[in-house]
Amino acid sequence: MAIRLLLYSVTFLFSSAISITNINPKFPCSIAKPVEKLSLSTKTEEKYFTQILDHFNYHPQSYQTFQQRYLINDKYWGGGAPNNSPIFVYTGNEGHIEWFAQNTGFMFDFAPHFKALLVFIEHRYYGKSIPFGGDKEKAYSNSTTLGYLSSTQALADYATLIIDLKYNLSATHSPVVVFGGSYGGMLAAWFRLKYPHVAIGALASSAPILNFENITSPYSFNNIITKDFRSESENCYKVIKGSWQEIKDTAKKYGGLEKLRKSFRICKNYISPETLENWLDTAYVYTAMADYPTPSNFMNPLPPYPVKQVRNPHGFCVNQGKNFSLVSRKSGRETRGISPPGFCITNGEIATSFAKMR
């Protein structure tokens, strides 16, 4: 069983590592926002682990603890000793852990076959796993308190929790495979490298583990997004490409920002060329990232093949003409269609509203 799991893990980790992408770090919307009424495909039990604040120093404050949340599902687990059934662990990203459990069906699909225990660990400083007594304002208040938020500390959290969990479940000999996507995938890959005695393998999905300066082109991620849209429609590609300059040119003109604000129904005092560009950029990125063949609610509610929907008869890429006019007319109509009278978009909403259009 352990050898078979290792082969699966190495294969997936290698295939992910050779596909290098560059993740845009400037999303206006954080995926750390509260998760409301998520319906997990399979029931998970919420648990907490008393975690140490600092795994690497010996200052008095290092020994403080906080409650780290994790979700567990033992529906298919074959148990610890003597069966030594495997444990699949999701290395949590920058957000509420149930959000990732909700959208990681692959682990639930594999669990019955391997009789695996499923564990989803929340990343420190996110969701309900907040140090300093759960006081998020205090935890994020300054560089001293925020200094404990790092990938190395998070990896040590996962190792500590996994080892303790295996001991308590009499599963010290059960093999562990870690899973993750995007930043969580980076953590999964790094976990396998840094803690090989804890995990026999890692599945790192869409993990930009080589996305560092002078290693990967800073344009590689955007090039992939461009390719996605261009593969569906050359005209769509041209409309989107042309709209950027038209937005900049319009913003420079007298009354241009007000025209943009009204066209995209953005609230007063929230409009700037950068804000609008980030909004549109995020919409294109989210649409391409969640370009699944079935309806999804991963980042926002989207139909099947959302990139294709952009150039369908109701999309803004179907007609020739002024690119900015096409983009703004489509977005304005859609926000009116999904919003009450008088609705306008603020900075906090600007990243997500466009992604609802279809």
Question: Residue 57 sits in a domain of what CATH number?
Answer: 3.40.50.1820
Instruction: Convert the pLDDT of each residue in 128-182 to its tens digit.
Output: 999 999 999 999 999 999 999 999 999 999 999 999 999 999 999 999 999 999 9
**CA 114/CA 75 separation, integer angstroms:** 12
**132: number of CA atoms within 13 Å, CB side?**
16
Instruction: Convert the pLDDT of each residue in 75-122 to its tens digit.
Output: 999 999 999 999 999 999 999 999 999 888 899 999 999 999 999 999
Average pLDDT of 294-303? 80
Domain membership flag for residue 44:
yes
CA dihedral 11, 13, 14, 15 (to 10 degrees): 80
81/129 same-domain check: yes
Categorize the per-residue pLDDT at 332 as very low, low, confident or very high, splitting at 50, 70 and 90.
very low
CA dihedral 186, 187, 191, 192 (to 10 degrees): -30
226/189 same-domain check: no
Strands 45-52 and 201-205: unpaired
Which whole-number Å values give the CA distances from 312 to 7, 84, 305, 307, 358, in the listed order? Answer: 42, 52, 11, 9, 9
Strands 117-121 and 65-73: antiparallel
**CA 136/CA 39 separation, integer angstroms:** 26
33/72 same-domain check: yes
Where a domain ends, among 177, 205, 233?
Answer: 205
The distance of Cα 346 from the centroid of its chain, to the nearest Å, equals 22
Instruction: Convert the pLDDT of each residue in 24-80 to its tens digit.
Output: 333 333 444 444 444 554 589 999 999 999 999 999 989 999 999 999 999 999 999
Domain membership flag for residue 99:
yes
65/182 same-domain check: yes
156/299 same-domain check: no
78/200 same-domain check: yes
Question: What residues does 68 pair with on adjacent strands?
Answer: 49
For 107-247, strand residue ranges (E) read 117-121, 176-181, 201-205
Domain membership flag for residue 60:
yes
- Classified as helix, coil or strand, 105 is helix
Predicted local distance difference test score (pLDDT) of residue 103 = 85
Q: Residue 324 sits in a domain of what CATH number?
A: 1.20.120.980
188/247 same-domain check: no
162 Cβ neighbours under 8 A, 6+ residues apart? 87, 89, 119, 121, 176, 198, 199
Q: Do residues 265 and 335 lie in contact, with contact meaning Cβ atoms separated by under 8 Å?
A: yes
Q: What is the span of the domain harbouring residue 296?
A: 220-356
Predicted local distance difference test score (pLDDT) of residue 1 = 52
334/271 same-domain check: yes
Any idea which of 198-202, 243-247, 250-254, 276-280 has the lowest mean pLDDT?
Answer: 276-280
**CA 327/CA 305 separation, integer angstroms:** 19
Asked whether the whole model's pTM tops 0.85, one would answer: no
For tokens 């600092």, the residue is 54
Q: Do residues 84 and 171 lie in contact, with contact meaning Cβ atoms separated by under 8 Å?
A: yes
Domain membership flag for residue 320:
yes
Nearest to 278, CA basis, from 348, 186, 206, 195 = 348
97/128 same-domain check: yes
Amino acid sitting at position 82: P
User: How many independent structural domains does the chain possess?
Assistant: 2
Question: What residues does 302 pair with on adjacent strands?
Answer: 296
163/240 same-domain check: no
Burial of 294 (0-12, 13-18, 19+ CB in 10 A): exposed
Domain membership flag for residue 214:
no
52/21 same-domain check: yes
Q: Do residues 208 and 215 lie in contact, with contact meaning Cβ atoms separated by under 8 Å?
A: no
184/260 same-domain check: no
The CA angle 128-130-131, to the nearest 5 degrees, is 150
Q: Report the number of secondary-structure helices (H) and strands (E) in the chain.
A: 14, 6
Domain membership flag for residue 210:
no
Domain membership flag for residue 215:
no
Where a domain ends, among 205, 238, 273?
Answer: 205
Domain membership flag for residue 64:
yes
Where a domain ends, among 174, 205, 236?
Answer: 205
